[in-house]
Chains A and B, each alone.
Chain A
Amino acid sequence: MTAVVEVEGVTKRYGRTVALDDVSLEVRSNELLALLGPNGAGKTTLIHILCTLYVPDEGRARIAGVDVVRRPLDARRNLGVVFQEPSLDDRLTVLENLDFHGMVYGVSARDRRDRIKELLELVELTRWRDHQVRALSMGMKRRLEIARALVHDSRLLILDEPTVGLDAQSRERIWAYLHGLRSWRDITLIVTTHYIHEVESCDRVCIIDQGKVRAIDTVDGLKSAYGREQLRLVPHDVAVAREIEEQYAGALISSDGEVVLEVEDDAFVAGVLSKYGERLLSMTRVRPSLESVFLALTGRELRDAEADRRDTLLAFGKRGGEHTR
């Protein structure tokens, strides 16, 4: 299989902060690769380098063999992007947004007409063709952006957190469209996310944390290499939690008070049960999961890793901060 995206030793710093630290990876033709990591892990920086918006300090990146630093215009031709924040024009209609994109990417009038018709059906927005974008819901906007990124017949589609800010139902629909896209024609997809359950259906997963690639493999490959069976305990009170933590090496108390233990064997489980059984509210034995993979690779749980930044941002937005509409 040929590589559509090649990233070699890319490093990017913002002042003293290292956003990406010697990142190398390859994305194969027609695969669906998930970039998984907490907010601030460097996913978006990597995406911006691939989109030619940022220039890496070191290393290089190629899209379909085209160097993104040396030939940015040619690199962009092969690329469709859906950014984290919506980048549609609210005052233009659905059709006008798509048409604008086609024109700017040099798509002929006939191809524009045919493709837009097809794409609108694909994302089920045909009925909204002549509505201004501001009348659309968040989920519809995201679908429109996916359609827009395909108007110029791009073979590589990059989506940066396409499901952030959507309700559970819309999130599932977005994924359904992405899978639908792959059965419709050849396409390579890179999707970043910090929702761990979303990546189960991807071909390969690249785990990024603190600017470094921790692992890149299929979901099963990751689970068998790094996954551990876990015991998730909900103790009566904090004292019990502390006691268990002291008793077992590698025990971890998560932000919601659960104690997570690595399972060694059945005897281990029986041991925990006999010792603490009456002081637990619940005990769950979890098969090797991606959560445990993330824990093994980074020493943290993904949902804990992301908490601070995201919460501050949300709180900021709720206060009506700077650029929220």
Chain B
Amino acid sequence: MPEVVALRTVGQSIVAVYAIWLRELKRALRDRGQLIGGVSRPLLWVLILGIGLNPYFRGEVYGEVRFVVPYTYLQFIFPAVVALNMMYTAVQSAISVIWDREFGFLREVLVAPVPRGAVLLGKVFGGTTVALFHGALVLVLARFADVSLSPAKIVSGLGVMLLLGFALTSVGVVIANRLQSFQGFGVFANLIILPLYFLSSSIFPLDPALTRAQTVVRYPEWLVHAIEFNPMTYAVDSLRGIFIGFNQFDPRIGPIVLAAMSVVFFALAWRDFRRL
């Protein structure tokens, strides 16, 4: 009976997705380096860089000043640090794909009687969960950044973070499938994470005119275009809208861009996995 067989395959696939997801989680929790990075990174960015640059963000303190960006620097970069922390975990999942391939574990999964799609789904769900956890670590620092989080903000924030985690992990898997050998973490960090992060309007607003007095200043066009082209810009914007109520783009764009990224890159990753 083909229906029964199909049902059994679906049931078995769900268990397999769970098993692979669980493995990713266990590995992430046992990887001290990753945990230390996940905690120290937000501390550096929020407590040191954020506090350090805070006074320079709003130049004029005399007279009546109307700010274009009515937030402190700490508040401004806080949502971006959430995104940054999640980008690093996505790289970790990409590296875990490479390790599995090079050190043999991938074979164990590939000869198991589960469809390749289930293998990929487990992997991406695992990465998403870890990314979500690392993003949530940053939220703990909210009160130091003077960001007030209501339960509603947290829920919708986690929703966007879930999408972001899924999209980033899929991107990571796609990149990993295209790398012939393991080049190390530094290459990843310098060639992918930091450019994407700096070009996402994370550490400076698109409009440099923080106050009326500065409206004459403009950024060069190439920079603005690069930022507008970078999908991370919309993810950061979306998180910023939720956490501190400041959007530079239409707030609906963020989730749409993230959903599109998730679909496109997951599909690409799936195509790669079927060829393995």
Show the binding face of A for B, using Cβ within 8 Å.
51-53, 73-74, 76-77, 79, 81, 83, 85-92, 96, 100-101, 103-106, 132, 148, 322-323, 325
Contact = CB atoms under 8 A, between A and B. Distances in A.
A89 B27 contact: yes
Q: Chain A's interface: helix, strand, loop or mixed, by majority?
A: loop
A148 B110 CA distance: 15
Contacts of B45: none
Contacts of A103: 15-16, 18-19
A185 B16 CA distance: 28
Contacts of A88: 104-105, 108
Interface in B1-48: 8-9, 11-12, 15-16, 18-20, 22-23, 26-27, 30-31
Interface of B: 8-9, 11-12, 15-16, 18-20, 22-23, 26-27, 30-31, 102-115, 181
A256 B61 CA distance: 89
Interface centre among A52, A87, A325 (most CB of B within 10 A): A87
B114 A100 contact: no
Most-contacted residue by chain B among A77, A89, A322, A323 (CB, 10 A): A89
24 contacts: A53-B110, A74-B113, A76-B112, A81-B111, A85-B103, A85-B104, A86-B103, A87-B103, A87-B107, A88-B108, A89-B105, A91-B30, A92-B23, A96-B23, A96-B26, A101-B108, A101-B112, A103-B18, A104-B109, A104-B114, A105-B113, A106-B11, A148-B108, A325-B103
Contact of B19 (A73, A74, A85, A100): A100
A86 B100 CA distance: 11
Nearest to B101: A323
Nearest to B16: A104
B26 A92 contact: yes
A233 B11 CA distance: 65
B23 A100 contact: yes
Given A91-B27, A104-B19, A106-B15, A76 B107 contact: no
Contacts of B103: 85-87, 90, 323, 325
Contacts of A89: 23, 27, 105
Given A81-B111, A87-B106, A91-B27, 16 more contacts: A73-B114, A76-B112, A83-B104, A87-B104, A87-B108, A90-B103, A92-B26, A92-B27, A96-B23, A101-B108, A101-B112, A103-B18, A105-B112, A106-B15, A132-B30, A325-B103
A-B residue pairs, 8 tightest by C-beta: A87-B104, A103-B19, A106-B12, A76-B113, A87-B108, A104-B112, A77-B113, A85-B104
Nearest to A322: B181
Contacts of A148: 108
A81 B104 CA distance: 13
Contacts of A74: 113
A138 to B, nearest CB: 13
Given A53-B107, A100-B19, A106-B12, A323 B27 contact: no
A91 B26 contact: yes
A73 B9 contact: yes
Nearest to A87: B104
B20 A104 contact: yes
Nearest to B109: A104
Nearest to A52: B111
A76 B110 CA distance: 10
Nearest to B114: A104
Most buried by A among B11, B110, B111, B114: B111
Contacts of B107: 53, 83, 87
Contacts of B18: 103
A106 B19 CA distance: 10
Nearest to B29: A91
Contacts of A90: 103
